[in-house]
Amino acid sequence: MRRWLRQHRYAIAVSVRRLLAQPFSSLANLLVIALTLTVPILGASILITAQPVARQLSVSPEMTIFLSPSADADASAGIAQRLKADFADDVASVKVVKRDEAMAKLRANPNWAQALAALPSNPLPDAVVVTLHEHPDLARHADTLATQWRQWQQVDLVQHDSAWVQRLEAILRFARIGLVLLAIGVALVVLATVFNTVRMQALTQREEIGVARLVGATESFVRRPFLYLGALTGLTAGLAAIALAYFALMPLNTALARLAQSYGTSLALRLPDAVSLALAVVVVAILGALSARWSVTRNTRF
């Protein structure tokens, strides 16, 4: 076991020595991989920031059932009762808003007060505001319920603006697929860059490989430093990419904060959580090692 550990320690030392022996070439390779990895990290940052916004909009949608102006005074209470009784699984809460109450609210708004004063009578209907429970496909589910409720007597309109929520979800789904494709592209860049780096290294270390074989080195011994070289390249590039993304988010967030402020809200892009980032770095390191193994197997047949 100790012998095995010593051989691995030696392989790591050799791979670090080889990386440091060609500092500019190693740095250029690291930079290419790091910059390429920064793009999906930034993409993921945008996506994870946009996702809760969309979820917030679609998770607890409020649907409003407007009654016809000729509806009985107690019709809204009846509908509220029916919703609670027949749709207990779907409905989280029900609130009746009487037409006078709605009018009073509008009058309280100085922007509307003048216009409303000109009206001879209250044109607003009674309404029932329904909050739905969570559902895996809430937008579609809300549409189904709205279709049913529109059939009820004395109901004039069921308002549920799910179309734009669906559109937003479709955009996010598209972005998620785009991010997966981007990740595949980045993986290919990592594979190609590490493959070429290791190929060049194997050619320059030809003499050393030959001597090592002469004195009894196994193929694992010959390949091991290259595998570590690939893994170290992936690991370092992954960490550098996180640092680059972190610094890139700073000016982006300053600009975004100003934009959000003008809409009276706050919004900031943030990196994916530490576990996801650590996982991404590990995956890149494994990709680097696999590519190195492929390259060294192909390029040391002499």
Partner 1 sequence: MIEFQHVFKSYGRGRNILSDINFRVDPGEFIFVSGPSGAGKSTLLKLIGGLEPPSRGSIAVNNQRIDKMPSRARPYLRRAVGIILQDTHLLFDRNAIENVLLPLKVIGLENSLAYTRARAAIEKVGLSGKEDMNPVELSGGEQQRLAIARAIVNRPAILIVDEPTANLDQETARRIMDVFKDFNRVGVTTLIASHDRRLMASYASRTFLIDHGRFNDVKGVAA
The binder of partner 1 chosen from 59, 98, 189, 221 (CB under 8 A):
221
Residue type, 2: R
Considering the complex, what minimum distance in angstroms separates the CB of residue 5 from partner 1?
A: 8
The binder of partner 1 chosen from 3, 108, 258, 264 (CB under 8 A):
3
CA neighbours within 13 Å on the CB side: how many for 92? 11
Residue 73 is a binding residue for partner 1 (CB under 8 A): no
Q: How many Å apart are CA 154 and CA 158, to the nearest integer? A: 11
Q: How far is CA 10 from each of CA 15, 113, 133, 200, rounded to the nearest angstrom? A: 9, 82, 60, 21
The binder of partner 1 chosen from 115, 214, 250, 255 (CB under 8 A):
214
Residue 4 is a binding residue for partner 1 (CB under 8 A): yes
Q: How many Å apart are CA 7 and CA 18, to the nearest integer? A: 16
Residue 217 is a binding residue for partner 1 (CB under 8 A): yes
Q: Which stretch binds partner 1 (CB under 8 A): 38-46, 133-141, 180-188, 212-220?
A: 212-220
Lookup: tokens for 213: 């074989």
Residue 12 is a binding residue for partner 1 (CB under 8 A): no
The distance from CA 234 to its chain's CA centroid, rounded to whole angstroms, is 22
Rounded to a whole number of angstroms, the distance between the first and last alpha carbons of the chain is 30
Q: Which is nearer to partner 1, 11 or 158 (CB)?
A: 11
Residue 263 is a binding residue for partner 1 (CB under 8 A): no
Residue 203 is a binding residue for partner 1 (CB under 8 A): no
Considering the complex, what minimum distance in angstroms separates the CB of residue 301 from partner 1?
A: 12
Q: How many Å apart are CA 196 and CA 298, to the nearest integer? A: 11
Residue 212 is a binding residue for partner 1 (CB under 8 A): yes
Lookup: tokens for 286: 């494994």
| Sheet-wide strand order for 127-132 | 91-97, 127-132, 62-67, 155-159
The binder of partner 1 chosen from 27, 119, 210, 247 (CB under 8 A):
210
Residue 301 is a binding residue for partner 1 (CB under 8 A): no
Q: Which stretch binds partner 1 (CB under 8 A): 25-33, 88-96, 133-141, 218-226?
A: 218-226
Q: Are 256 and 50 in contact (CB under 8 A)?
A: no
The residues binding partner 1 (CB under 8 A) are 2-4, 6-7, 10, 21, 207-208, 210-219, 221
